[in-house]
Amino acid sequence: MTTSHGPYSTDGHPAAGSRLSRRELVRRAAALGLSVPTASALLVGSDTIGRAAPSRHLAESIGAARPGGNQASGAQELTIAQGLDPESLDPHATTVSASENVGTLIAERFVHYDYAQNQNVPLLAAEWASVDDLTWEISLRPGVTFTNGEPMNAAAAKFSLERIMTKTHATGKRLATEELAIEVVDDLTIRLRTKTPFPFMIFELGRISVVPPGYVQEVGDEAYGLKPVGTGPFVLQEWVRGDRATLTRNEQYWGNKPALTKVTFRAIPEPSSRTAALQTGEVDLITLVSISDIPTIEEAENLALAAETSNRSMFVRFDTADPRLKDTRVRQAFNYAVDKQLIVDELLMGYGQVLDGQPVGAHILGHHEGLEAYPYDPDRAKTLLDEADFDYDTPLILYTPVGRYAADKEIAEAIGGMLGEVGVKIDVQSLEWGVWIGKYNDGTLTPMTFIGIHTFYPDAFTLLNLHVTGSVGGTYNNPAYDEIVNEAARTVDAEQRRALYHRALQLMHDDPAALFLHQQQDLYAYNTRVENFVLRPDEMIDLSTISVAGSQAGTGPMRRRGAGAAASDIEEDRAATDR
């Protein structure tokens, strides 16, 4: 099989190309605070773990496809296994990528962010223009109808914008905060006005689907979430909750029709079960590949592994209202106590990049090049905890979802073990995703939770706004930080906004809002008869380019764009400097 890996640092660890024995991994697991069974689980299917080697161009490292299974003549059917069943197929009711991957194929958004071009491109919005600092005018695409026959027009756009502002959707809440006013100018034109300058308006339109007002009002929100209607390239055939959602091609689609005629999204929570389904041909493509399954995929002749530098940053978020975490020195100590590079190297097999003391990746506007990661220094951690008169007797709860992020439970256990080495008692509580996301939305994942947040667009605002007092699930309270981020939200000039981001990030680094861990690499595996799979850094699966080869060997290239394409030189620099 062919594969590509993300960059990683070998400083203080086995060199690239070396292999780690089972005994050595178990020894290292002890340092990580993991149980032997947990450590051993990383070696399933292999006597040793191969080290990941950095690569500049992932597309170049994906070889030609090998002969795959037969595909019925004229039929282009693809089955994708994700780790989660959609919460809802209503795109206004969720921001979880596993749900959006299905729902937005049915109900399209105003615009689409093209990472290859590094810009927003038209979708249902054909054109847009800034009238002044507070006003945008949006021209809609003519001649588009919803699959139930309703026209896609200014009334539908206004209804969709007003509807999303009543939901818990992050974009809707933001627009509501901005007191967005929507004016219908004519049948295909709307004007959007905010109370203060809002530089992210077009980005946010890339998060909002246009839905048919008549149908939604007729069936209600709950029924719409079960059987949505939109303008997209696919229509819903069936959704069997907890099992599969099946979509068929919209033959009356207004745009370029996809090659695929049918797509099925399977919900397979257990990573090893997803890999097994891929091996047997039950599915064609899987997301969230388990680190422990990489050797199995690497050994398969008809499977390919693909990695994309993600917009998602991983960290442990602190509740600064908790008296044990209120002191800045305690939160600094926690950052010193955890060996982030060891976690990336051993638990993620190099598929990750240690964050440099901030939640913003290097390819995102606002990244602060002057910040550095907290080094692993348990002695310094102990000193800071003692200076802060830390309460060593009372355990702190560390929540983690299970199966949502790569090695999430194992990483949380490792963090608990390392903090234990400096005397901090940690109670790791693993929650099923549905329970975890419920507690996240109501702000009860306290005092600490392992979490991964990705930017909705390549600007630092989303990652920084998460920590503003009063944000959804927010647990950080720093008025000076809030003031800076709120000012950035009103700053139209990108360079001025970057400067504000740098101030906020410096403050967040010195007064940590989180235990900064790593930038995630998204791992996918697929049967090599799947062709033209274009990776994105936002976890959305782009079906517009995918086709499935027949009984003949296909060319099978996996292409990448976005953080990968736009930042390939950055990746090479990272590998060279071991950042």
- For 42-72, b/e burial (b = at least 16 CB within 10 A) is bbeebeebbbbbbbeebbebbeebbebeebe
* pLDDT tens, position by position, 457-497: 889 998 998 899 877 767 888 999 999 999 999 999 999 99
456: Cα separation from own chain's centroid: 9
Q: What percent of the chain has pLDDT over 70?
A: 82
Q: How far is it, in rounded angstroms, from Cα 338 to Cα 318? A: 15
What SS3 class is residue 408? Answer: helix
Q: In this prediction, what percent of the chain has a pLDDT beyond 90?
A: 69
* CATH number reported for the structural domain that contains residue 143 in this entry: 3.40.190.10
What pLDDT, on the 0 to 100 scale, is given for residue 473? Answer: 66
Q: Are residues 217 and 324 in the same domain?
A: no
Bridge pairing between strands 262-267 and 426-431: unpaired
Same domain, 320 and 179: no
17, pLDDT greater than 90: no
* Same domain? 500 vs 364: yes
Residue 576 lies in a domain: no
Buried b (16+ CB within 10 A) or exposed e, 406-421: bbbbbbbbbbbbbbeb
316 and 201 within one domain: no
Residue 98 lies in a domain: no
Same-domain status, 332 and 480: yes
What is the CATH number for 498?
A: 3.10.105.10
- In one-letter notation, the amino acid at residue 327 is D
Q: What is the distance between the terminal CA atoms of the chain, rounded to a whole angstrom?
A: 29
Three-class SS state of 332: helix
Distance CA(113)–CA(122), nearest Å, equals 9
Checking if the pLDDT of 91 tops 80, the result is: yes
Please check whether residues 212 and 337 belong to one and the same domain. no
pLDDT confidence of 116, banded at 50, 70, 90? confident
For helices 479-488 and 494-510, the axis angle rounded to 10 degrees is: 160
CA distance linking residue 570 with residue 574, whole number of Å: 6
Q: Are residues 403 and 514 in the same domain?
A: yes
Mean pLDDT of 225-242: 97
Answer whether residue 58 is part of any domain: no
> Domain range holding 494?
310-520
Measure the CA–CA gap between 267 and 245, rounded to whole angstroms: 8
The 3-state DSSP class for residue 119 equals: strand
- Which of 194, 226, 258 lies at the terminal end of a domain, its last residue? 226
* Mean pLDDT calculated for residue range 104-117: 94
The one-character DSSP state at 291 is G
Which is more confident, 567 or 203? 203
Q: Which residue has the tokens 């009103």?
A: 490
Is the residue at 92 inside a domain? no
Predicted confidence at residue 403, as pLDDT, reads 79
Q: Assign 182 a pLDDT band (cuts: 50, 70, 90).
A: very high
Is the Cβ–Cβ distance between 308 and 560 less than 8 Å? Answer: yes
Mean pLDDT of 155-161: 98
Question: pLDDT tier at 441 (50, 70, 90 boundaries)?
Answer: confident
Q: What is the pLDDT of residue 142?
A: 98
541 pLDDT more than 80: yes
Range 547-563 average pLDDT: 51
Provide the pLDDT for residue 170.
78
Q: Residue 555 falls within a domain, yes or no?
A: no
CA dihedral over 140, 458, 310, 505, signed as positive or negative: negative
- Closest by Cα among 303, 280, 296 to 47: 296
Within a domain: 578: no
State pLDDT tens for residues 280-303. Answer: 999 999 998 988 899 999 999 999
Q: Looking at 252-266, 363-377, 407-421, 464-478, which range is the least confident one?
A: 464-478
The arithmetic mean of pLDDT across residues 20-44, rounded, is 44
Q: Position 149: which residue type?
A: G
DSSP single-letter state for residue 347:
I
Beta-carbon count within 10 A of 214 CB: 16
Q: Closest by alpha carbon to 49, among 294, 377, 391, 242?
A: 294
Q: What is the mean pLDDT of residues 426-454?
A: 91
Q: Residue 441: how many CB atoms within 10 A of its CB?
A: 12
Are 222 and 314 members of one domain?
Answer: no
Q: Any idea which of 51-60, 95-104, 265-274 has the lowest mean pLDDT?
A: 51-60
Task: For the chain, give the mean pLDDT.
Answer: 84
Tell me which residue of 307, 324, 457 sits closest to 395, measured CA to CA: 324
Q: Which residues, 6 or more positions from 180, have their beta carbon under 8 angstroms from its beta carbon?
A: 161, 165, 192, 193, 194
Give residue 257's Cα distance to chain centre: 27
Joined tokens for residue 437: 């996301």
Question: Which burial class, exposed, middle or buried, applies to 240 when counting CB atoms under 10 A from its CB (0-12, 13-18, 19+)?
Answer: exposed
Of 226, 257, 284, which closes a domain? Answer: 226
Q: Determine if the peptide bond prior to 323 is cis (ω within 30°).
A: no
Is residue 423 a contact partner of residue 382, using CB atoms and an 8 Å limit?
Answer: yes
d(CA 499, CA 330): 28
Q: Are residues 201 and 323 in the same domain?
A: no
Same domain, 371 and 513: yes
In angstroms, the CA 301 to CA 330 distance is 50
Taking alpha carbons only, the member of 174, 161, 81 closest to residue 125 is 161
| Six-digit token string for 339 | 């060996």
Dihedral sign (CA 297, 35, 436, 329): negative
Residue 398 CB partners (closer than 8 Å, separation 6+): 316, 412, 415, 416, 426, 427, 428, 429, 448, 449, 450
Domain count, the chain: 2
User: 226, 252, 267 — which closes off a domain?
Assistant: 226
Q: Is 412 helix (H, G, I), strand (E, B) or coil?
A: helix
Residues 186 and 329 in one domain: no
Tell me what pLDDT residue 294 has: 93
Report the amino acid identity of residue 137. Answer: E
Q: What pLDDT does residue 458 have?
A: 85
Strand 530-531, strand 448-454: pairing: unpaired
3-class secondary-structure state, position 303 = strand
Q: Dump the DSSP string for 152-197.
A: -SHHHHHHHHHHHTTSS-HHHHHHHHTT-EEEEEETTEEEEE-SS-
Residue 484 lies in a domain: yes
For residue range 344-366, list pLDDT tens digits in order.
999 999 999 999 999 998 888 99
d(CA 104, CA 86): 12
| 338 and 204 share one domain | no
Is 348 part of a structural domain of the chain? yes
Q: Are 401 and 395 in contact (CB under 8 A)?
A: no
The CA distance from 470 to 505, in Å, is 18
